[in-house]
C-alpha cells in the first residue's frame, strides 16, 4: 500500500513540475544589419570530369531530353534554387582556356587536351555561346574567368569585345552575330586569372599584382549598358575579380590590397578571391565521401568552421586598406574535397554527397551571412558531378544531393537583410573534437518575412528550441527540415529521396515558438 502511495505521489509531483525548457534563441528584428548578397549562393562549372559533359551538355542529337544540347532536367533543377551566378570555364582550366577554340561551327572546333583534369580530350563543344545560352535558360548571371597564366591582355580584351561590343563598330562583334548572337552578352563579373599562386602561373603576389594592373586595364566591357563608356568605376558595371589567397596566405591579401590603393582611371580591383576546401588538409585527400563514421564527421565539420577564421583575418587586412568595404571578398571556391568515388577517374574529382555535406553547406553559408558586409560573393565547388556537387547525373538519370536541398532551403536569404541572433550554442564533443551543437542565423527576406536557419550539428541528440523575436509578435512558424537516417546517408539514382526536406511548423506558446530539431539536421522556417 505504501509503495502504491509513493508511486502515486511521485507521478503527481512529476506532472506538476514544469517541463524542461528548450534552448532559447532570440532574433532581434530591431537591429537590421547588412544585405546578404544573393551572390554568396553562386555556383561553379569547370571543364573538369563530367561536370560539363554530360552534366550540362549532351548535344542536340542526344536521346537525353535537351534544349539546344543542354539538359532539360538540370535546367529545371537549377532554376528552382535561383542560381545567382555561375563561374566558368574554371578553375585551373581557365588559365589553359583559349576562347577562340569554343566558337563557330562545332565540327570545325579543335579538339584540345585537358591536361590538368585527366589529360582527356576536350571537344570545345561547350563554349562561349553555349555557356551564355545555359546562363539565360536558368535565369543566372555570368562570372567569366579570363586566362592570365597562358594568355595575353589582348586575348582577354578580344574575348570581352567579342562578347559585349556593338556590331556596328566592331568586327569581333560582327563575328559574334555571324555565330548566332546579335545582342551583346551580359558579363557582370569577370575574373582576372585563377589561383595565380599555383596552377594559374606559380606567381609571387608582387608579380601577380603587377600583371593584374596590366590585364585589368584591358579587361573592358564594351557595352555601355554594362559599364560607363569613359572607363570610370561604375558600381553597377562589370566587377573585376583578382586572384586571391590560397587558404591562409595573408601576405597575398596584403600585397593585393596595398596595390588596390593605387587604382587610377584605367583599372579597378573590385573583388579579391579566396579558396578553401573543408576536409582537405593533405594530398591526396584522405577522408571518404561515403561509409564514414562519427570521427570523420566531426573532423570535417571542424574544418568547415575554419572558414570563419579565414574570412575574419582576410577581412581585417582588407579593412586596413579599404575601410569603406568597396572591395568584395569573393570566396569563389569552397566546399568539401574527399577521395574520389570508387571506380571513377581520380582526376575527375567525383565524390558522394551526404548529410554531412548538408551540414557543411549550412555552416559555411551561415559564416558568410555573418560577414555579409565583406563577403558579397561565393561559389560552391562544384555544381554538377564534381566535388561538393548540387546535382549528380548518370546517363539520362539525375539526382539532387543533400547540398542541393540546403541551397533550396536558403533561397529566402538571397538579398535578405541580416538580423542578429542571441543563443547558447552548447557543445558537441567526439573523440577530442569540440564543436558548437547549434548554429543559427536569421534574416528579413525581400518579402518582409523573418527567416531563421537552425542547424543541429549533434548527430546523437535532437534539439528543442524556444524561438522568439524582438520587435515581432510571431504567431507561428512554418518551413522545412532536412534530416537523414545517418550522418553518411546519401541520395542515389535508385533511392533519390533518402535525404529530402520535410515540413515543420510551430505555434506560439507563451510568447515563444517551440521547434524540435532532429539530430544532424538543417531547418529553415519563416515566422508568421
Per-residue pLDDT of the chain (528 residues; tens, 9 = 90+): 333 333 332 332 223 333 346 899 999 999 999 999 999 999 999 999 999 999 999 999 999 999 999 999 999 999 999 999 999 999 999 999 999 999 999 999 999 999 999 999 999 999 999 999 999 999 999 999 999 999 999 999 999 999 999 999 999 999 999 999 999 999 999 999 999 999 999 999 999 999 999 999 999 999 988 865 544 445 457 999 999 999 999 999 999 999 999 988 888 899 999 999 999 877 788 999 999 999 999 999 999 999 999 999 999 999 999 999 999 999 999 999 999 999 999 999 999 999 999 999 999 999 999 999 999 999 999 999 999 999 999 999 999 999 999 999 999 999 999 999 999 999 999 999 999 999 999 999 999 999 999 999 999 999 999 999 999 988 999 999 999 999 999 999 999 999 999 999 998 887 789 999 999 999 999 998
Q: Determine the distance from the C-alpha atom of residue 490 to the mean position of all C-alpha atoms in its chain, rounded to a whole number.
A: 20
Residue 453 to residue 467: CA distance in whole angstroms: 11
Residue 426 to residue 404: CA distance in whole angstroms: 27
pLDDT value at residue 227: 65
Residue 361 to residue 522: CA distance in whole angstroms: 10
pLDDT value at residue 237: 79
Distances 379 to 204, 412, 470, 486 between C-alpha atoms, Å:
24, 18, 33, 27
DSSP state of 221: -
Instruction: Give CA torsion, residues 463, 466, 471, 476, to 10 deg.
Output: 90
pLDDT value at residue 512: 86
Residue 443 to residue 412: CA distance in whole angstroms: 9
Superfamily of domain 20-30+420-527: Golgi alpha-mannosidase II (2.60.40.1180)
Q: What is the pTM of this model?
A: 0.93
Neighbours of 167 (CB within 10 A): 17
Q: Which element (helix H / strand E) includes 311?
A: helix 294-321
Cis ω for the linkage preceding 198 (within 30 of 0)? no
User: Of 122, 195, 254, 394, which residue is the catalytic one?
Assistant: 195
User: Of 333, 394, 464, 480, which residue is the catalytic one?
Assistant: 333
CATH classification code of 35-96+113-158+176-215+228-414: 3.20.20.80
Radius of gyration of the chain (CA): 25
The question of whether 195 is a catalytic residue gets the answer: yes
Surface-to-core class of residue 171, CB atoms within 10 Å of its CB (0-12 exposed, 13-18 middle, 19+ buried): exposed
CATH fold match for the domains 20-30+420-527 and 35-96+113-158+176-215+228-414: no
pLDDT value at residue 93: 98
The question of whether 206 is a catalytic residue gets the answer: no
pLDDT value at residue 476: 93
pLDDT value at residue 434: 97
Nearest alpha carbon to residue 292 among 338, 248, 359, 326 = 338
Residue 82 to residue 140: CA distance in whole angstroms: 7
Residue 154 to residue 190: CA distance in whole angstroms: 15
Residue 128 to residue 447: CA distance in whole angstroms: 35
Using alpha carbons only, what angle is made at residue 98 by residues 202 and 140, rounded to the nearest 5 degrees?
95
Residue 477 to residue 442: CA distance in whole angstroms: 13
Neighbours of 155 (CB within 10 A): 17
DSSP string, 35-62: EE-GGGGBEE--SSTTTTTTTTB--TT-
pLDDT value at residue 7: 35
Q: Where are the domains of the chain?
A: 20-30+420-527, 35-96+113-158+176-215+228-414
Amino acid at each position: 500500500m505504501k509503495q502504491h502511495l509513493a508511486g502515486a505521489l511521485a507521478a503527481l509531483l512529476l506532472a506538476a513540475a514544469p517541463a524542461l525548457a528548450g534552448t532559447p534563441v532570440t532574433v532581434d528584428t530591431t537591429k537590421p544589419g547588412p544585405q546578404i548578397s544573393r551572390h554568396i549562393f553562386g555556383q561553379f562549372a569547370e571543364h573538369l570530369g563530367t561536370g560539363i559533359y554530360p552534366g550540362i551538355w549532351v548535344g542536340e542529337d542526344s536521346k537525353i531530353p535537351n534544349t539546344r544540347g543542354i539538359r532539360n532536367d538540370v535546367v529545371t533543377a537549377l532554376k528552382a534554387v535561383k542560381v545567382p551566378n555561375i563561374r566558368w570555364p574554371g578553375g585551373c582550366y581557365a588559365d589553359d582556356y583559349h576562347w577562340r577554340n569554343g566558337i563557330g561551327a562545332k565540327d570545325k572546333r579543335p579538339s584540345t587536351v585537358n591536361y590538368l583534369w585527366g589529360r582527356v580530350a576536350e571537344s570545345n563543344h561547350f563554349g562561349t555561346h553555349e555557356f551564355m545560352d545555359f546562363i539565360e535558360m536558368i535565369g543566372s548571371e555570368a562570372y567569366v574567368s579570363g586566362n592570365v597564366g597562358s594568355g595575353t591582355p589582348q586575348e582577354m580584351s578580344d574575348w570581352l569585345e567579342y562578347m559585349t561590343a556593338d556590331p556596328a563598330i566592331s568586327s569581333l562583334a560582327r563575328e559574334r552575330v555571324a555565330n548566332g548572337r546579335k545582342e551583346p552578352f551580359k558579363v557582370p563579373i569577370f575574373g582576372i586569372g585563377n589561383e595565380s599562386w599555383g596552377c594559374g602561373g606559380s606567381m609571387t603576389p608582387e608579380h601577380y599584382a603587377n600583371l593584374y594592373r596590366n590585364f585589368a586595364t584591358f579587361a573592358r566591357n564594351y557595352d555601355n549598358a554594362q559599364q560607363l563608356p569613359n572607363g570610370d568605376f561604375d558600381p553597377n558595371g562589370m566587377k573585376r575579380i583578382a586572384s586571391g589567397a590560397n587558404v591562409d596566405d595573408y601576405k597575398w591579401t596584403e600585397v593585393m590590397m596595398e596595390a588596390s590603393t593605387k587604382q587610377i582611371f584605367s583599372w579597378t580591383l573590385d573583388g579579391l578571391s579566396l579558396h578553401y576546401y573543408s576536409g582537405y588538409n593533405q594530398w591526396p585527400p584522405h577522408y571518404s565521401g561515403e561509409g564514414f563514421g562519427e570521427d570523420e564527421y566531426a573532423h570535417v565539420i571542424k574544418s568547415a568552421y575554419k572558414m570563419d577564421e579565414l574570412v575574419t583575418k582576410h577581412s581585417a587586412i582588407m579593412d586596413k586598406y579599404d575601410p569603406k568595404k568597396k572591395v568584395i571578398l569573393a570566396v569563389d571556391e569552397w566546399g568539401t574535397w574527399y577521395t574520389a568515388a570508387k571506380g571513377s577517374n581520380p582526376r575527375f574529382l567525383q565524390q558522394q554527397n551526404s548529410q554531412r555535406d548538408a551540414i557543411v553547406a549550412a555552416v559555411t553559408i551561415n559564416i558568410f551571412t555573418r560577414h555579409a558586409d565583406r563577403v558579397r560573393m561565393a561559389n560552391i565547388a562544384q555544381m554538377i558531378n564534381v566535388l561538393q556537387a548540387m546535382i549528380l547525373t548518370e546517363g539520362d538519370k539525375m539526382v539532387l544531393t543533400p547540398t542541393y536541398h540546403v541551397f533550396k532551403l536558403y533561397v529566402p536569404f538571397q538579398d535578405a537583410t541580416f538580423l542578429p541572433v542571441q543563443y547558447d550554442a552548447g557543445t558537441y564533443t567526439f573523440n577530442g573534437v569540440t564543436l558548437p551543437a547549434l548554429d543559427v542565423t536569421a534574416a528579413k527576406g525581400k518579402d518582409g518575412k523573418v527567416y531563421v536557419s537552425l542547424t543541429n550539428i549533434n548527430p546523437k541528440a535532437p534539439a528543442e528550441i524556444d524561438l522568439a523575436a524582438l520587435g515581432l509578435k510571431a504567431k507561428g512558424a512554418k518551413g522545412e527540415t532536412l534530416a537523414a537516417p545517418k550522418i553518411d546517408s546519401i541520395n542515389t539514382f535508385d533511392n533519390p529521396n533518402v535525404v529530402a526536406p520535410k515540413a515543420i511548423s510551430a505555434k506560439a506558446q507563451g510568447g515563444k515558438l517551440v521547434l524540435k530539431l532532429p539530430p544532424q539536421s538543417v531547418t529553415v522556417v519563416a515566422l508568421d
